[in-house]
Amino acid sequence: MINEEKVILMTRLTSYEKREGKENVAISKYFRGDFISLHLLKAVLVATVCYFIGLGLYLLYYVEELLENIYTLDYLVLAKNAISIYVIFVVVYCLLSYVIFAHRFAKAKKGVRRYYHNLKKLSSMNRQ
């Protein structure tokens, strides 16, 4: 006779494995600090690239005005402003990334924990 509870549990386990299970198991192999540090490093690189693309677009948009005032501009002030905007942008982007990846890690760990609990439950059902 077919055990309905066992079939439901097996279906639930299979759907988890096919959907988010692969990613969650890969995430759960990391330590929390390592996972977040890796993604923060990537975030710093992405934020730097985005900032320089934005700076390049800004300079292209105002190139005529910059060329007209090329001798009267205070380049030290411009450099300080550019660096301060860069630092603020990277810090905000990294804070956002930290929150997102800490949440993803916690969610993945919780899902994997539930998955292993269900596997143990299925194993105990098979023994009976």
Determine the pLDDT at residue 2: 76
Give the start-to-end residue ranges of the domains of the chain. 33-127
Kindly indicate the confidence band of residue 1, based on its pLDDT and cuts at 50, 70 and 90. low
Sole residue written with tokens 């301060």: 84
Mean of pLDDT over the chain:
93
DSSP state of 30: S
Tens digit of pLDDT for each residue in 9-25? Answer: 999 999 998 988 889 98
Kindly indicate the confidence band of residue 117, based on its pLDDT and cuts at 50, 70 and 90. very high
* Helices of type H across 29-68: 32-61, 63-68
With H, G, I as helix, E, B as strand and everything else as coil, classify residue 77.
helix
